[in-house]
Amino acid sequence: MKKSITLLDVLEHLITEEEIQEILQTHKYKDTARKLSVSMLLRFLMMAAMHEWKGFRHMADVATAYGLPQVHYSALSTKTSDVPYAIFKDIFIKILSRCNRRIRRSTRFPKELLLIDSTTVTVGESRLPWAPYHGKRSGIKLHVTLLEASQMPCNLRETTGLCHDSPVMNEFVDPQFILVADRAYFQIKRIDTFVKPETNQPFVIRLKMNVALYRKKSLRRWSPADSNILGDFTCKLGTPQARSESRHRIVEFTDREGKVMRVVTNLYDVDAETIASMYQARWAIEVFFRWIKQHLNIPTLFGTTEIAVFNQLYAALLAYVVLKTLYEEGKQHPFIRSASFVSFTRQFIEAQLPVEWELIIQAFIKDYQQLYGSILPGTG
């Protein structure tokens, strides 16, 4: 009987055990466990995310059916709260970097879009007392930059739920991309900084409709008959007490539902319709957040400590990165029948992938085996 490829089969070849040990040494963490090592814990948590296991007891009960060792649930709970989540984050970043280099991207825009947003996971206030949110809820927040062309994360930052979005954006500035963000990230001082020659950060950011516009000057433009553009002009932003130093380009348009949108940008060499399309492409990050919440069990938090919660989070995100990489790998081949990411994931989890997909994944594993070898001892 054919043995289907599992998530753990792929994981084994994305990073070496030596690299994991280097990360552990960087964080001065001594992994003394023989059975439940850091590598093994990562495997448990990734499988828990993909198969939507409900907690540590569930993980311990079904582990052996998925090729994992028999471990008591208390050991899983203790280890998850013991390993600093910065270790899992570093493992995630290293594998993410390799997968992003693997995926071929093409964009319909002058530069690749880097979509910025955050999502919040909330639970009862007694579950996470270190992460107060609103009312009788506690919560954590994940700040993400997403590559629009491949829908893969580029950078992440974890915080508690009450952390404001806007300050975190400073960590995501990268002039090789066009930053696309919602109105929560708008600041007059920030966009004045973005247009300075020493910064030169391309951006498209939504404005709140109550932002004052000072000395509007329309830009000459050719308007297609079916254009959704309502206005294209430059102006200064804000009140006399807090007004922008520079003039900025404003594009007003209607979205698919007829709602009026207003964005500010420093892109002058593209038409207004393209600017509107750039902002509307931001929907991809909303789809990403919805997908990981619906398919990776993220709203079900196993532990209650900060370390345990973020370890679970980064393991789940790593599962997404591996699945998305395999999906994009297959899409590049002309003989693969078209399938949605959701459909591919379901077939992968249920071990029902068509033979052609299995062959592509085997080739992918072989490539990484030649580059990096095997990650986890005691496998294969």
Digitized pLDDT (tens) for each residue of the chain, 380 residues in all = 346 788 888 888 888 889 999 999 999 999 988 889 999 999 999 999 999 999 999 999 999 999 899 999 999 999 999 999 999 999 999 999 988 887 767 778 889 999 999 999 999 989 999 999 999 999 999 999 999 999 999 999 999 999 999 999 999 999 999 999 999 999 999 999 999 999 999 999 999 888 999 999 998 777 777 889 999 999 999 999 999 999 999 999 999 888 999 999 999 999 999 999 999 999 999 999 999 999 998 889 999 999 999 999 999 999 999 999 999 888 877 777 778 899 999 999 988 888 888 888 888 888 877 766 554 444 44
In this structure, the answer to whether residues 311 and 270 fall within a common structural domain is: no
Residue 246 placed within a domain: yes
CA nearest neighbour of 271 among 237, 312, 232, 317:
232
- Which H or E run includes 121? strand 113-124
Residue 269 placed within a domain: yes
Do the beta carbons of residue 148 and residue 134 sit within 8 Å? no
In this structure, the answer to whether residues 309 and 249 fall within a common structural domain is: no
Per the structure, the count of domains in the chain is 2
In this structure, the answer to whether residues 196 and 272 fall within a common structural domain is: yes
CA nearest neighbour of 148 among 93, 95, 100:
100
Residue 351 placed within a domain: yes
Give the residues across from 263 on adjacent strands.
Answer: 206, 251
In this structure, the answer to whether residues 269 and 238 fall within a common structural domain is: yes
In this structure, the answer to whether residues 264 and 324 fall within a common structural domain is: no
In this structure, the answer to whether residues 342 and 254 fall within a common structural domain is: no
In this structure, the answer to whether residues 260 and 339 fall within a common structural domain is: no
Query: Model-level pTM greater than 0.85?
Result: yes
Residue 161 placed within a domain: no
Tokens of 120: 């919040």
Residue 140 placed within a domain: no
Q: Of the residues 224, 248, 281, which one is the last residue of a structural domain? A: 281
In this structure, the answer to whether residues 277 and 308 fall within a common structural domain is: no
Q: Of the residues 221, 247, 281, which one is the last residue of a structural domain? A: 281
Do the beta carbons of residue 316 and residue 297 sit within 8 Å? yes
User: Mutual orientation of helices 85-102 and 38-51 as an angle, nearest 10°?
Assistant: 70
Strand 113-124 and strand 248-254: the pairing is: unpaired
Residue 40 placed within a domain: yes
User: What pLDDT is recorded for position 380?
Assistant: 42
In this structure, the answer to whether residues 195 and 277 fall within a common structural domain is: yes
The string over 163-182, giving b where at least 16 C-beta atoms fall within 10 Å of a residue's C-beta and e elsewhere, is bebeebbeebbeeebbbbbb
User: What pLDDT is recorded for position 372?
Assistant: 62
Do the beta carbons of residue 144 and residue 153 sit within 8 Å? yes
Q: What is the dihedral of CA 329, 333, 339, 345, to 10 degrees?
A: -30
Residue 94 placed within a domain: yes
User: Mutual orientation of helices 306-331 and 355-372 as an angle, nearest 10°?
Assistant: 120
Q: Of the residues 250, 281, 312, which one is the last residue of a structural domain? A: 281
User: What pLDDT is recorded for position 369?
Assistant: 72
In this structure, the answer to whether residues 276 and 309 fall within a common structural domain is: no
User: What pLDDT is recorded for position 329?
Assistant: 86
Residue 223 placed within a domain: yes
> Strand, helix or coil at 156?
strand
Domain with 71, as residue range(s), is: 7-100+302-372
Cα–Cα distance between 192 and 181 in angstroms, integer?
A: 16
User: What pLDDT is recorded for position 26?
Assistant: 96
In this structure, the answer to whether residues 314 and 272 fall within a common structural domain is: no
In this structure, the answer to whether residues 259 and 306 fall within a common structural domain is: no
